[in-house]
Amino acid sequence: MNKSILIPLSIVGAVAASQTSALEFSGANIEFNYLTFLDGNTGSQEVINGSVEMSFGGAVGVQIDLSNTSYDFFENDGAFGGGAHVFYNVSPALTVGGFYFTEDWGNQWNSYGAEALVNVGNFTYDIAIGAYQESGGNANFFFDTEVAYKVNERVDITAGILIGYWGDFGDSNDLYNSYSIGAQYAFNNGLYIAADLGLLDDAGSTESSVNLAIGYNFGGGTTFGPRNYATLWPGD
């Protein structure tokens, strides 16, 4: 087994060893995303994300993620990866934690950092700050915020912005940002559908896309989204 895969599993093991008597299943999620490019570009991106979450004593939680990314339905290179989140429920309005994700694009790439989920009225903020890094290479930093506004029990309006910095400090041409706006509809059985418009901005060179998703939440679902490349920079 790849050593980088062992890191998130070791984190889970350490937490579990200290609180095995309190181990409880919290929820799980599976989601399929189909993205098609606009602006005259052709092709598609497909992403399958799956997550399962466990709690240890109520306040401490661990989430395991698996992900597979493909292009043009496996006609071009993609990536498979996995990772983990360890988090603490400070209050019903705030959860804080850390994440690690590793995936194979021919070379091993890893994302890692800190994250928080904040609930304020009808707004939910999923915030992450971290780095995406090829094994042995320079770290590429990002700040990601995903916002959901609950219109009612079924409908959420969503928006996201990610500021990414690739390369040496002081060069604005190394900014690699991602933006999205969309909506999600939840059925009463755990099933949901979503759609959004996305925009990648590579130092002023832009590429737009439409992303359609269908997913299912088991139990209470999961706390955080995966931090794989296709989720951080969809459409690339």
Check which CATH number belongs to the domain holding 164 and give it. Answer: 2.40.160.40
Q: What is the pLDDT of residue 151?
A: 98
Q: What is the pLDDT of residue 208?
A: 94
AA identity, residue 127: I
Rounded Cα gap, residues 226 and 153, in angstroms: 24
Structural domain including 197 reads 3-232
- Decide: 214 and 193 in contact? Cβ < 8 Å: yes
Q: What is the pLDDT of residue 2?
A: 47
Q: What is the pLDDT of residue 53?
A: 96
Q: How many domains does the chain have?
A: 1
Rounded Cα gap, residues 236 and 232, in angstroms: 10
Instruction: Average pLDDT across each block of 10 residues of the chain; the chain has 236 residues. List them in order.
Output: 48 48 86 90 90 90 96 85 96 97 94 97 98 88 97 97 78 81 96 97 89 96 94 91
Rounded Cα gap, residues 8 and 154, in angstroms: 34
- Decide: 107 and 12 in contact? Cβ < 8 Å: no
Q: What is the pLDDT of residue 173?
A: 58
